[in-house]
Amino acid sequence: MDEMKISMPLLGDEFPELKVVTTHGRKIIPQDYKGRWFVLFSHPADFTPVCTTEFVAFQKRYQSFLDLNCELVGMSVDQPFSHIKWVEWIKENLDVEIQFPIIAANDAIAAKLGMLHPGKGTNTVRAVFVVDNNGLVRLIMYYPQEVGRNMDEIVRAVKALQIADKQGAVPAGWPDNELIKDRIIVPPPIDEKTAKERLKDKSLECYDWWFCHKALKK
């Protein structure tokens, strides 16, 4: 028997078209999210403790994603009825209503995104794909089954990507960097003339000509 080919999109690639069944009906991704960002995240299985904590955490931050023109889309290889029952269980027992769709994927879809966990059957890894409003993959995170994700970091990453697109690179831990707080890093000069002039630019603060930063535009 031929092994199923496992692949995944790379940063900057177009997100592959997926025709899927979800708890909110059939969808075509990324087409149905045209003009919006979305975070597609997979989980190993429904009715598991770590995944349940993750879904509650994502829902608690759902409005923060919507404020960034960003949707959430969950996914595992469980069947639709399992997703529906699990969502019902979370609402009834944890008083949290999951408002975003969950894809009932098959192995082919999971393999297409590199989400199958090596050596652990058909379980999907904890993958995160951040896709922009042009359908391009901007960020990928992969976690093992044993470690739950930090949803505040995912919110921060979406916000940082959107800021970087308009203003420049953001530092480590943005917006609370130890050196420059929420300021934006200016790309280093690529010629000697610009390097010499950089330190004279009154709109910038610099450690050196190659490490300058500017105020964040609110």
Q: Which residues are catalytic?
A: 51
Instruction: Give the DSSP H or E segment for 142.
Output: strand 137-143
Contacts of 89 (CB under 8 A, 6+ apart): 47
Write out the two tokens for 85. Answer: 């029952």
**β-pairing verdict for 37-42 and 70-76:** parallel
Q: Is-contact 37 131, C-beta < 8 A?
A: yes
| AA identity, residue 32 | D
For residue 146, CA distances in Å to 10, 43, 69, 125 come to 24, 11, 30, 10
Q: Is the peptide bond before 49 cis (omega within 30 degrees of 0)?
A: no
Write out the two tokens for 88. Answer: 């019902």
Instruction: Give the DSSP H or E segment for 42.
Output: strand 37-42
Distance of CA 145 to the CA centre of its chain: 17
In three-state secondary structure terms, 16 is coil
For residue 187, CA distances in Å to 56, 142, 191, 193 come to 39, 28, 12, 15
